[in-house]
């Protein structure tokens, strides 16, 4: 699971991607007869932005404005900060009566918006001007993956593979927590739930918190491995300010199972202490049992893609469900646009209206704990209000045919790492690409570049079935921090692999 990052894209790229899926509604105003003057159209009303309670965005990135009475033809969107006011007129393809997509401008021709800061957003049509919604502006920073260095922090209480982890923002800009669930301990799948605080430098714990906390009072309701995890909060969903929810989706119950489960669990996380609440089994289960699928929350919707069915066969299914204010999920929608080829154990993220699915294993009958290479395909599609558009194969494939790896995203950079791939151990541990703002020639991601161990750019973890996430905190040098947790030693491309790991790696440079 990846959290949304602050990347620099243009509205032109988003228009290309989402135009095909945004359905235009009907505008206000009725017809006239005889000499009767038609009633004026109703004023527009903004319900929310980005389907979140506390919307945030960098400048130059698109936001989703949801509401009513926007009419069918475009009006204008106004962004105001103090004395600076900028009008944006979106194209028809991203304007409907109930939704508008507009890029946040950098400012006017004479003055730039202050970032970090806030802007007030309104929509104006022939019916008048809407209510104003505040958007928090966050900075975008420069990050060079080739400058990375790696170290280790507090190890897991025991070696584990097939575990999953998410980062949960805390109650301040300098606090966050890591939550780990499930996993295979070498003999059986577990109900384990571990928690620890995250530090700005990428480490976990502190001088008085020298071990991971085992959440003994609220373990998972059943043993699980190879499940999916996602996190919802007020910046990415319509939940109350300060509320945090984590989801455990599907997964393998017994280590000998070919397939998974359709169960979805949710628990709250205290944003001040990082404590995990009681797990609730949601009534809206996955449309089918799965393991090895990918999941992420973006603009108020939980997306799930790929995985193995009950026969251990990869699927191309793509699902979405809205995150409700109490943390429950709405009814699952099965997208009519499946992945072009069924696959499991890939990685996925959504940003700026685009959903990306990277690598994964298209083969059947490969036990989840065993090694098995994937392919080097990269797919992308539009993702707007839970609707997924037609998938396109990116013109730039990854260098390696990776499966069961991890994915990190930050500031326009994408890093695919670890997992099982063809080649000697360590030869393809990590590679990086960047978002292509113009998306010309079906190149939503630019070409991939390998990172090498000889330059210290990779951790030399060499594991598959590990957990990984990007921390919501940045270092004092304004750099992102990535964590790799557990996994099983990579020994080749087939077979059961090597010893399980309890190590936790993080990048300590730049």
Classified as helix, coil or strand, 177 is strand
Residue 3's pLDDT band (boundaries 50, 70, 90)?
Answer: very low
CB 292 within 8 A of CB 226: yes
- Average pLDDT of 193-217? 96
DSSP letter assigned to residue 419: S
CB 124 within 8 A of CB 73: no
Q: How would DSSP label each residue in 88-153?
A: E---GGGB-SSEEEEEPPSB-SS-BPPSSEEEEEEEEETTEE---EEEEE-------GGG-EEEEE
Measure the N-to-C terminal CA separation of the chain; round to a whole number of Å: 23
Angle at 88 between CA 6 and CA 98, to 5 degrees: 85
- Average pLDDT of 307-312? 96
Residue 37's pLDDT band (boundaries 50, 70, 90)?
Answer: confident
- Average pLDDT of 479-488? 98
Domains of the chain, each with CATH number or no CATH: 11-29+39-137 (2.60.40.10), 145-509 (2.120.10.80)
State both tokens at 339.
């992945």
State both tokens at 465.
């079935």
pTM, two decimals, is 0.92
CB 480 within 8 A of CB 143: yes
pLDDT digits (tens, 9 = 90+) for 357-369: 999 999 998 899 9
| pLDDT value at residue 14 | 43
Classified as helix, coil or strand, 32 is coil
pLDDT mean across residues, the chain: 93
d(CA 54, CA 234): 5
Measured over the CA atoms of residue 127, residue 129, residue 134 and residue 137, the dihedral's sign is positive
Distances (CA, A) of 399 to 4, 129, 132, 448, 455: 24, 50, 46, 6, 19
- Average pLDDT of 364-379? 95
Gyration radius of the chain's alpha carbons? 23
CB 410 within 8 A of CB 469: no
Distances (CA, A) of 296 to 102, 332, 406, 430, 433: 23, 14, 13, 21, 20
Pick the closest to residue 176 from 279, 268, 269 (CA basis). 269
- Average pLDDT of 304-324? 98
| 219-228, 309-318, 441-450: least confident range | 441-450
Q: Is the pLDDT of residue 5 over 90?
A: no
DSSP lists the bridge partners of residue 279 as: none
Q: Is the pLDDT of residue 422 over 70?
A: yes
- Average pLDDT of 485-505? 98
Residue 352's pLDDT band (boundaries 50, 70, 90)?
Answer: confident
Distances (CA, A) of 202 to 5, 199, 475: 16, 5, 7
């Amino acid at each position: 699971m990846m959290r949304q990052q602050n990347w620099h894209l243009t509205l032109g790229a988003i228009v290309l991607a989402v135009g095909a899926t945004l359905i235009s509604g009907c505008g206000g105003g009725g017809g006239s007869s005889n000499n009767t003057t038609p009633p004026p159209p109703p004023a527009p009303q903004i319900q929310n932005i980005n389907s979140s309670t506390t919307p945030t965005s960098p400048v130059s990135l698109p936001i989703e404005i949801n509401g009513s009475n926007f009419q069918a033809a475009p009006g204008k969107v106004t962004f105001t900060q103090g004395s600076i006011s900028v009008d944006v007129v979106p194209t028809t393809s991203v304007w409907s009566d109930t939704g508008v997509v507009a890029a946040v401008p950098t400012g006017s021709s004479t003055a730039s918006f202050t970032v970090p800061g806030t802007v007030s957003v309104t929509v104006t049509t022939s019916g008048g001007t809407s209510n104003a919604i505040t958007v928090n502006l966050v900075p975008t920073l420069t990050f060079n993956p080739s400058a990375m260095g790696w170290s280790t922090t507090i190890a897991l209480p025991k070696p584990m593979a097939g575990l999953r982890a998410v980062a949960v923002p805390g109650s301040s800009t300098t606090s966050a927590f890591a939550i780990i669930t499930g996993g295979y301990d070498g003999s059986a799948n577990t109900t384990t739930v571990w928690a620890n605080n995250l530090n700005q430098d990428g480490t976990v714990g502190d001088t008085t918190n020298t071990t991971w906390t085992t959440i003994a009072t609220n373990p998972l309701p059943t043993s699980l491995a190879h499940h999916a995890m996602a996190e919802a909060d007020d910046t990415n969903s319509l939940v109350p300010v300060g509320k945090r929810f984590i989801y455990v989706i599907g997964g393998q119950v017994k280590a000998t199972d070919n397939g998974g489960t359709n169960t979805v669990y949710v628990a709250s996380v205290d944003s001040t202490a990082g404590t995990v609440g009681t797990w609730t089994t949601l009534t809206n289960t996955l449309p089918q049992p799965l393991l090895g699928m990918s999941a992420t929350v973006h603009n108020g919707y939980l997306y799930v893609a790929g995985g193995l069915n009950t026969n251990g066969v990869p699927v191309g299914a793509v699902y979405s469900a809205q995150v409700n204010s109490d943390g429950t999920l709405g009814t699952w929608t099965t997208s009519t646009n499946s992945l072009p080829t069924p696959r499991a154990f890939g990685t996925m993220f959504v940003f700026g209206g685009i959903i990306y699915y990277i690598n994964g294993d298209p083969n059947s009958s490969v036990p989840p704990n065993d090694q098995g290479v994937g392919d080097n395909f990269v797919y992308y599609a539009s993702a707007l209000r839970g609707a997924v558009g037609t998938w396109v194969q990116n013109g730039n494939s990854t260098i390696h045919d990776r499966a069961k790896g991890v994915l990190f995203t930050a500031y326009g950079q994408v890093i695919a790492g670890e997992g099982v791939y063809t080649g000697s151990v360590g030869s393809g541990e990590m590679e990086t690409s960047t978002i292509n703002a113009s998306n010309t020639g079906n190149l939503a991601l630019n070409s991939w570049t390998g990172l090498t161990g000889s330059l210290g750019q990779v951790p030399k973890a060499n594991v598959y079935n590990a957990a990984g996430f990007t921390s919501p905190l940045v270092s004092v040098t304004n750099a992102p921090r990535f964590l790799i947790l557990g996994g099983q030693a990579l020994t080749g491309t087939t077979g059961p692999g090597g010893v399980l790991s309890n190590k936790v790696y993080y990048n300590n440079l730049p």
